[in-house]
Chains A and B, each alone.
Chain A
Amino acid sequence: MPVSIADTVSPSWDLLADIQILLHYHFMQNAYLAGTLVALTAGIMGYFMVLRSQSFAGHSLANVGFAGATGAVLFGIPPIVGLFLAGALAAVSIQTLSEASGQSRQNDIAVGAVFTASLALGFLFIFLATAEYAANVYNVLFGNVLGISDTDVSIILWSTLVLVGAFLLISRPLFFASIDPDVAAARGVPVRALALGYLMLLALAVAVAVQIVGVLLIFALLVTPAAIAQDVTTRPAIAAAIAVALALIFTWVGLAVGYFTPYPVGFFITTFAFGTYALVRGGRFVRDRVVRRRLTSLPSSRVGGEG
């Protein structure tokens, strides 16, 4: 636990000097490197997740990762491998179940069923493991960004390259399929293959991101930045860029504040994300109210468009 170090450092309020302090220790360099890479993919993934209304699926893939990670510890394989395997398996089941049901409302039920079953499995794995794994469970749930090894960093680097490369390739047809699957299919876009492919990529992104924020707080990096981005712009490329930028800022600032205070990094990343989300939503709400009042106060004004 880095708490003992953090207690002795305080920021100098000189940005350059602070950055030097922040990046002085190797574990912080690793934390920043891993955090940056994870935020990059989480921002892109999240944009599509919000667009496809699959935030519940993403949340569930993360929770399925709980079984994967605890199982990995039990069977002695690297947690990230366990996380990805569990996520990929869940992605296939979610896709198969929701295709069989064919309705979006049934979709949530399918996702929920998979997700609860895997939580139960994770529970069994913890029960089977000995007490020394208890700390590990804590890391899986809330992330352990300050304990990231060099091997972890290189795994994260490679998966980020795979994810970004895959996204450069599929983002346009995936966007089409997400917005309007019927027309996309008629135009020759492989809608179902893309749906499964997206969930697989999501499983990989989640497996990587869990190291930073843990399965319970992953919403902060996946969904919140993307939700804010879609609130402030209607242009897809710009929205994706804003989602990435916000995920980066939350991670960087969260790491810095976590370093200079005795409190956990995951808490700060999540809180900054939530605070920004609340501000943007609140701002929009107020603006809409003001606009509506101004419109209704004008006698000749026409509220709303046609129809």
Chain B
Amino acid sequence: MMTDLSATSSLTSAPAGLSPIIQVEDAAVVLDRRTIWQEVQLSVQPGEFLAILGPNGAGKSTLLKAILGLFPLSRGTISVLGHPARRGNAAIGYVPQRRHFEAEVHVRGRSIVRLGLDGRNWGLPLPFLQRGKERDARRRVQEAIDLVGAEAYADRPIGELSGGEQQRLLIAQALVTRPRILALDEPLDSLDLRNQQGVAGVIRQISRETGAAVLLVAHDINPILPAVDRVVYIAHGQVAVGTPEEVITTTTLSRLYDTPIEVLRASDGQIVVVGQPEEEVCYHAGLHR
């Protein structure tokens, strides 16, 4: 089931003449004969900021992975920049759901950012033979580090950094190819409140400054709410797409969850969802490898 609430809204309709950067047509994922989600229609415009929301195990990461070409669809198509979704697309910067680097990983952050640029290449670079290329690579790494504000600790071992600092460097790693799309899987998860706000600020700033479309999987929309253009809400195999005001409402969520849900708005604009089932049946645990 799929509801595109944006059809009724002038706010979210695509600007005329722009072709979508991501086009999802009638997509479905079936795992162990269980439908994770189906009939998903979605088109993402360049520079758009999308939040993918929903309870645990609803298939938020699966949607992101399907767009990255890491997870096969059971039905439908996904095209990214006019081509079918495929693994290793340099136009997408990806930060997967994060466990921390272990404390004993004694590699500086800058080297880890650099991996985003040429870590997949075979052979070794010869800095003394290709000076221009090497200088260019270093400049791009520096640019990405500056963009996330990680200069102060970019040369420290990544295992010794805090969760927020690690997350910023990983976002820099995803940015270093200057991607058209930034795919972030729960980047604010397991961060304390101050770091949540800091990293959310960095992501908002990146989406403004680079013009990259951002797809962000989140548990809680509040830290990123001011930046979000549209919300993709997944629950019980159903998907609703639209602006936060359209999707995160008592009626829409009650229908998605098929149980009474109340959405409250605080005076500062923060959204509180009451009655939301905490955990979806975890049929998607097998996906994590």
Contact = CB atoms under 8 A, between A and B. Distances in A.
A236 B111 contact: yes
A168 B88 contact: no
B96 A182 contact: yes
B153 A305 contact: yes
A170 B96 contact: no
Contacts of B106: 230-231, 234, 239
A306 B195 contact: yes
A235 B108 CA distance: 6
Interface string A21-53: 000000000000000000000000000000101
B194 A307 contact: yes
B165 A307 contact: yes
Contacts of B118: 172
A230 B158 CA distance: 13
Which has the most chain B C-beta neighbours within 10 Å: A53, A102, A189?
A189
B254 to A, nearest CB: 35
A179 B162 contact: no
B164 A306 contact: yes
A184 B162 contact: no
Contact of B120 (A102, A176, A306): A176
Contact of B192 (A183, A304, A307): A307
Nearest 3 CB-CB pairings of A with B: A188-B88, A307-B162, A176-B119
Given A172-B118, A180-B112, A234 B164 contact: no
A173 interface: yes
A175 interface: yes
Interface in A49-68: 51, 53
Interface in A184-205: 184-189
B215 to A, nearest CB: 13
A166 to B, nearest CB: 11
21 contacts: A51-B107, A53-B104, A172-B118, A172-B122, A172-B124, A175-B119, A183-B115, A183-B173, A184-B115, A186-B96, A187-B88, A187-B94, A189-B88, A189-B119, A230-B106, A234-B106, A234-B111, A236-B111, A305-B161, A307-B164, A307-B192
A170 B119 CA distance: 10
Interface in A131-146: none
- Do most interface residues of chain B lie in helix, strand or loop, or is the interface mixed? loop
Contacts of B138: none
Given A102-B289, A169-B122, A188 B87 contact: yes
Contacts of B153: 305
Interface in B78-95: 87-88, 90, 94-95
Contacts of B162: 304-307
B70 interface: yes
Contact of B191 (A186, A239, A304, A307): A307
A276 interface: no
Interface of A: 51, 53, 102, 168-173, 175-176, 179-180, 182-189, 230-231, 234-236, 239, 304-307
Contacts of A170: 122
Contacts of B105: 51, 179
Contacts of A168: 123-124
Contacts of A306: 162, 164-165, 194-195
Q: Among the interface residues A171, A186, A236, which one has the most CB atoms of the partner chain B within 10 A?
A: A186
A179 B112 CA distance: 8
Contacts of B119: 172-173, 175-176, 184, 187, 189
Interface size of B as a range: 35 or more
A176 B192 contact: no
Contacts of A172: 118-125
A180 B104 CA distance: 14
Given A168-B124, A184-B115, A186-B96, 12 more contacts: A51-B105, A53-B102, A172-B122, A172-B124, A173-B119, A173-B121, A185-B70, A186-B94, A188-B120, A234-B157, A305-B161, A307-B191
B163 interface: yes
Contacts of B68: 186
B155 interface: yes
B156 interface: yes
A187 B106 CA distance: 23
Given A172-B121, A173-B119, A306-B194, A186 B165 contact: no
B195 to A, nearest CB: 5
A51 to B, nearest CB: 8
A235 B157 CA distance: 9
Interface string B129-161: 000000000000000000000000101110001
B153 to A, nearest CB: 7
A307 B163 contact: yes
Contacts of B96: 182-183, 186
Given A306-B195, A307-B165, A184 B120 contact: yes
A188 B118 CA distance: 11
A289 to B, nearest CB: 16
B192 to A, nearest CB: 6
Interface in B157-182: 157, 161-165, 170, 173-174
Contacts of A304: 162
B122 A173 contact: yes
A187 B120 contact: yes
A260 B70 CA distance: 60
A5 B121 CA distance: 51
Nearest to A191: B289
A236 B112 CA distance: 10
